[in-house]
């Protein structure tokens, strides 16, 4: 990516065909991953294409058409839930990995949100990806049990998708940007969801299912 810092790592594999961009939360600090990237000759077998600091610092570690090592471990007995991943495939062969500094559940600073939007925008243009919940993904889609909280309930997926779809300059992050799909995965529930109200209380909501309701109405009940 042009105009970003580069710290290449030796933790890199062969050529890949990215089908989506997977976000992670580090449960730690960007400096740690930069240190791992610089290690020679010992190699920590963990890497991401990009790391993004809480202050908005963007560092690229792996070329986007080479494999980074961020999502290779699957959950035994819990198959991946990513429709674009071929059966039995290694997610690292199909997903760009972005590691975000911080801890699951902590609010994301606006500088970090703006930086991840910038990286997503460049990646989507460069790779010709179409923004959707299948291309803007979190680690929880391929490791639904062990990584249910990665990147966690404060991952601003809705904000990222809005920015990719509108092409507008993203506004300041608000509490309402907390992503419902990620929160749902975090809480392990499917039929209902929550959102964070302006007063920071969680509000229980039902997931809307417009199709069956419309069908029933059109058939006259």
Contact 101, 30 (CB under 8 A): yes
Rounded to whole angstroms, what are the CA distances from 85 to 9, 96, 179?
25, 13, 23
Euclidean distance between CA atoms 100 and 50, whole angstroms: 8
Instruction: Tell me which of 19, 49, 139, 184 binds Zn ion, using CB under 5 A.
Output: 139
The footprint of Zn ion on residues 194-213 (CB under 5 A) is none
Euclidean distance between CA atoms 151 and 143, whole angstroms: 11
Q: Min. distance of Cβ 65 from Zn ion in angstroms?
A: 21
Catalytic annotation, residues: 99
Q: Min. distance of Cβ 84 from Zn ion in angstroms?
A: 17
Nearer to Zn ion (CB atom), residue 150 or residue 177: 150
Q: Min. distance of Cβ 100 from Zn ion in angstroms?
A: 9
Would you say how long the chain is, in residues? 221
Nearer to Zn ion (CB atom), residue 80 or residue 170: 80
How many of the chain's residues bind Zn ion (CB under 5 A)? 3
Instruction: Tell me which of 150, 181, 184, 186 binds Zn ion, using CB under 5 A.
Output: 150
Is residue 24 close enough to count as binding Zn ion by CB under 5 A?
A: yes
Write out the DSSP string of 126-168.
HHTPPPSTTTEEEGGGTSTTTTTTSS-TT--HHHHHHHHHH-P
Binding site for Zn ion (CB under 5 A): 24, 139, 150
């Amino acid at each position: 990516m042009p105009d970003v810092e580069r710290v290449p790592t030796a933790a890199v594999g062969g050529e890949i065909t990215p089908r989506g961009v997977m976000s992670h939360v580090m449960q730690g600090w960007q400096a740690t991953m930069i240190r791992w990237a610089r290690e020679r000759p010992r190699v920590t077998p963990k890497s991401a294409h990009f790391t993004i600091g809480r202050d908005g610092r963007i560092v690229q570690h792996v070329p986007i058409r080479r494999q980074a090592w961020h999502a290779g471990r699957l959950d035994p007995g819990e198959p991946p839930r990513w429709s674009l991943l071929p059966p039995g495939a290694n997610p690292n062969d199909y997903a760009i990995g972005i590691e975000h500094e911080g801890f699951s559940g902590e609010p994301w600073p606006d500088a970090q949100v703006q930086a991840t939007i910038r990286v997503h925008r460049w990646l989507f243009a460069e790779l010709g990806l179409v923004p959707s919940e299948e291309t803007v993904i979190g680690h929880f889609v391929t490791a639904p049990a062990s990584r249910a909280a990665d990147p966690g309930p404060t991952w601003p997926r809705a904000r990222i998708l809005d920015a990719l779809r509108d092409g507008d300059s993203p506004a300041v992050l608000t509490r309402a940007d907390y992503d419902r799909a990620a929160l749902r995965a975090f809480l392990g529930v499917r039929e209902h969801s929550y959102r964070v109200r302006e007063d920071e209380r969680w509000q229980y909501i039902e997931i809307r299912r417009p199709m069956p309701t419309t069908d029933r109405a059109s058939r006259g009940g």
